[in-house]
Amino acid sequence: MKDRIEVVENIMGANDRLAADNRAKLDKHHIFSINLMASPGAGKTSLIENTVPALKDKFRIAAVDGDIATSIDADRAAAVGAAAVQINTGGECHLDAVMLRQALNQIDLPQTDLLVVENVGNLICPASFALGTHKSVLVASIPEGDDKPYKYPGIYRGVDVLIINKIDLLPYIPFRMEYFRQGVEMLNPGLKTFPLSCKTGEGVQEWLEWLELQVTAFKETSK
């Protein structure tokens, strides 16, 4: 057991060092970056499809899409105007700092202001592997149920922003918003939260305004 613990610590330590290198590279080029995490189907790609068209006239946006297979998500990001790179993990349930470093080598960094990293759909593994991004954003969705903060505390505890997607389904799905928010608050007090619907557009503007402020402030302070 001790040997296994040491191996895990070595792996995580190496990943953290590479994540720091990724962050330094992003900082050097004044690129603000987010790590977008969620369970499968929660709406990560839909959020990208709502975000890129709204901000692409203000910022040069790149997207890194992580998935076990296919380029479906990268194709969707590219279709709305992002410079998209697909990472197929070959079975791994998360992105890590090595994978992001490889993706950064395929992006024209001097021509990028905002990098959106779409992690593999999973509520467990992505929370453990730093990538070097500036903010971690979790997309939850109404159909997943209101118990997810209680079942998956690690990922809720470690994020900077929470998106609650598919609020248009609240009239049709038993979802106790107060119970859900209580679970979040216990794990991550005061977490910045945006209830929205990528389908109807309700609440999306608040998210866009927050993200625009983050990118603008970062570029000003990193010069």
Tell me the pTM: 0.93
Mean pLDDT of 118-142: 95
Question: What is the enclosing helix (H) or strand (E) of 106?
Answer: none
Tokens read off for 8 = 């895990």
Measured in whole angstroms, how far is the alpha carbon of residue 28 from the centre of its chain? 21
Q: Are 197 and 191 in contact (CB under 8 A)?
A: no
Tokens of 219: 């570029």
Locate 80 and state its tokens.
């709305």
Q: What digits encode the pLDDT tens for the residues 50-93?
A: 999 999 999 999 999 999 888 999 999 999 999 999 999 888 88
CATH code of 108's domain = 3.40.50.300
Separation CA 100–CA 64 (nearest Å)? 8
Domain that holds residue 112: 2-222
Q: Indicate the DSSP class of residue 64.
A: E
Please state, rounded to an integer, the average pLDDT across all residues of the chain: 94
Q: What is residue 57's predicted lDDT score, i.e. its pLDDT?
A: 97
pLDDT at position 10? 58
In total, how many domains does the chain have?
1
